[in-house]
Structure formats: structure tokens, C-alpha cells
Amino acid sequence: MACLLFAMAAQAQPLADRSVTLEGETLHYSIRAFAPGAQVIDPATEPEPTTALNTAKLLSLYLTAGKVEDAALLSTAPRRRFEVLRDYKGAVGDEDFKQVYSQYFQPQNRLVAEVTMGPRSLLVWHLRENDRYAGQYYVQVEGKVFLDDVPSIERFRLRRILEAIRAGKVSIPPQ
């Protein structure tokens, strides 16, 4: 029964193709909404990093356990990601580090959508405490999905779409 609930929670709409003109440039993208609870992590399994959502879940599992090295390996710039995480963990301490990285997966927050442009994805979260949208960037490389830590024009365009979502210029499909 628990597996069925986790499978239902992770369901998402199919991708819908859209376009928006921002600052004179027309951006073509796909978007899908997630059902409430999509970010719930099944404690009985460790997700495979084959989708942006699974990589986000795996990243959360590693970071909330303080596994900085494992988390860094999920990045397109693992050495730099490791250094940033290690330094941050050293500055705030183990418990605050784990708490910061569990924020997205707290019950009051919710994964609302995935925006894609080619192999790149933006996961859009609604963080209830600040009533704001936050984003995480991912990229698919050879069948695996990694945290996208390398600047690119596509990532810049996804950031513009996130800003448009925040400003109400791009809507998230209802789930």
C-alpha cells in the first residue's frame, strides 16, 4: 500500500509545449505540473538519478545525512560543489547544514512543476514559509541527470522562466 501511495504521489502531468516572449526573446519550453506529495521520498528505496526529480530526492537524502562527497558527485562540477558544500557545512555546523537542505522536502513545501529545454530541467518549488518560488537546475548527460552547476545559455533561459513564474507572467498548469 505504501508503495502505491508513493507511486501516486510522484505522478505528474505530461509535458506541455509552451512559449513566452521575455525581453524580446521568444523562449520555447515544456512544462508539467506535479501532484501534491511528488517530492515525498520512499524510505525503502534509493532513487536512481535518471530524472530531475529522482536526482533532487537523492541529493536531499545525501545532504540531510551530511554526505557531502556523495552529493557533490551528482553535480556537473563535482569538485567545486564539494568545496562549496564542505565550506558551508564547516561554517554552520552539521545540524544547521542538514536542516537547510531538508527545507525543500518539508511537508509544507511542495514541488509544483518541471520546466524543460532540451536536456536541461528546472524544478520549481513553492516554499510556503516565504510564499515564494525557488528553482533547482538539472541536466541530463548520458542517461543520468545531474545538478547543473555549469553556466549555459539554456540555464540562463530557464532562470528567466523562473523569474517570469515569480512575476506571474508564466503560469504553472494546475494539477
- Residue pLDDT tens, the chain, 175 long: 344 344 444 456 678 999 999 999 999 999 999 998 888 888 788 899 999 999 999 999 999 888 999 999 999 999 999 999 999 999 999 998 888 888 888 888 899 999 999 999 999 999 988 899 999 999 999 999 999 999 999 999 999 999 999 999 999 988 7
Residue 94 belongs to a domain: yes
Amino acid at 63: L
Residue 172 belongs to a domain: no
Give the whole-angstrom CA distance, residue 49 versus residue 57: 9
Task: Give pLDDT, residue 147.
Answer: 97
Residue 1 belongs to a domain: no
Number of domains the chain contains = 1
Residue 38 belongs to a domain: yes
Residue 4 belongs to a domain: no
- Angle at which helix 52-64 crosses helix 94-102, to 10 degrees, equals 160
Residue 129 belongs to a domain: yes
Domain that includes residue 35, residue range? 13-166
Residue 49 belongs to a domain: yes
Residue 173 belongs to a domain: no
Task: Give pLDDT, residue 45.
Answer: 86
Task: Give pLDDT, residue 42.
Answer: 84
Classify residue 171 by its DSSP letter. P
Task: Give pLDDT, residue 43.
Answer: 78
Grid coordinates representing 142 are 548520458
Helix, strand, coil percent content, the chain, rounded in steps of 5: 40, 30, 35
First to last CA, the chain: 23
